[in-house]
Structure 1
């Protein structure tokens, strides 16, 4: 049997663009004071967990969150590896737009219905494709582009050297976490909110991923 690798997927703490209700994919903004507090609280919940490896996206908000989490650790802290693979979805021309405006435009462009109605009928993969279609510049990532990138990052983590069962901390983004769970774990409702600094846990063993839970 291969080692059991427990992935702790943490969404970054609240940022100023989150607070202002704006689309934030590859664009970045610092953590708010509340964002820092929830990151510290996540670190306190994880303080007794020893991590073999730590990964973040290359966004400043995930690095800031990871540092606050690791400051609470009661174990030696590994080097933080920052990789593009764990970035948030790129929203193209919708980056920085008010979320209500952007999501409404995406729904109207593709189906002529409201965003709430749309999300009851499409998968997260279909929504990524719809976002690219609705983006005036067509620079937004479609699902294939998004998942190819994320999958490469996950494979990097799984292929690391492990002495035995281990924990890995990956500080990333809400839609990235949603797509990981949606692709790797059957029967999980991924329409729920992925809260700032929440911990989603997956286990990998013998080539299979198992979902342990959201908001742990």
Structure 2
């Protein structure tokens, strides 16, 4: 069995402003850095052997905070990037026109092959994410990788692992620095393949204050 932990990056300035990020970027807020420290303390005793991040700045910044606790180098993989939101990147949700808001919702509403202009479809997102996690099975026996990724990307990954189509309406909320886990199971009780063990755990964010870090 292969165990893979999944962490969404910490809160960013654009998250706080409700601005669409996609593959554009903004730095972590102070709250985002605290969240990263909290999840680092949560995972420090889980035997993590590899720390792999999306190459977008907000994910790398989160991973570097984790790296200080885990004492591991940060590897990057551009396949872990967020959904490309095309022409909407950088715009505040509250300032979208009705047409732009309809375009924003289309990839998340169950419309097959929907894409924001100059962006990508959820199926394209799912394909590259599954390529990335399938490569993890080539790591040495006993490896326990942790991936630092993004909200829509992780929601898509977890949904497809559960057997949903990539374009299925979004039903999974993954907050900043939430912790999820997927396993590759080859045992006799379940069909071979990836399964979801945990999705969106934020207990570590609720049980610590900034003064404890």
Whether TM-score is above 0.5 comes out as: yes
1:19: which partner in 2? 16
The question of 1:192 aligning with 2:172 is answered yes
Q: Post-superposition shift, 1:32? A: 0.3
What SS class does the counterpart of residue 72 from structure 1 fall into?
Answer: helix
Whether the aligned pair in 1 keeps the contact of 2:51 and 2:72 (CA below 8 Å) is yes
- Cα offset, 1:103, TM superposition: 9.0
CA distance in 2, matches of 1:78, 1:181: 25
Tell me which residue corresponds to 2:185: 205
Greater relative contact order, per chain length (Cα 8 Å cut-off, separation 6+) = 1
Partner of 1:142: 121
- Alignment partner, residue 49 of structure 2: 52
Match of 1:63 among 60, 63, 69: 60
Gaps of 5+ in 2: 187-191, 202-213
Find out whether 1:91 has 2:71 as its counterpart: no
Residue 55 of structure 1: CA displacement? 0.8
Contiguous gaps of at least 5 residues in structure 1: none
Map of 1:37 onto structure 2: 34
Contact 2:184 2:194 in 1 (8 A): yes
**Residues 66-77 of structure 1: pairs in structure 2 closer than 5 A:** 66-73=63-70, 77=71
SS of residue paired to 1:7:
strand
- Deviation, 1:172, is 0.4
Q: TM-score, normalised by structure 1?
A: 0.79
Aligned partner of residue 49 in structure 2, secondary structure: strand
Offset at 1:157? Answer: 1.7
CA RMSD after TM alignment: 2.6
Are residues 103 and 179 of structure 1, via their aligned partners in 2, closer, same or farther at CA, if it must alter by over 3 Å?
farther
What's the CA shift for 1:213? 1.5
Distance 1:33 1:47 in 2: 21
Listed as ranges, the matches of 1:102-181 within 5 Å are 102=96, 105=99, 108=102, 122-123=109-110, 126=111, 129-130=113-114, 132=115, 135=116, 138-160=117-139, 162-164=140-142, 166-181=143-158
CA deviation vs aligned residue, 1:109-168 (integer Å, no higher than 9, x gap): 59xxxx6xx89x933xx37x43x2xx4xx21101232222222211222222x223x321
State the TM-score, normalized to the length of structure 2: 0.80
* Cα shift at 1:60: 1.1
Deviation at 1:205, TM superposition (A): 2.4
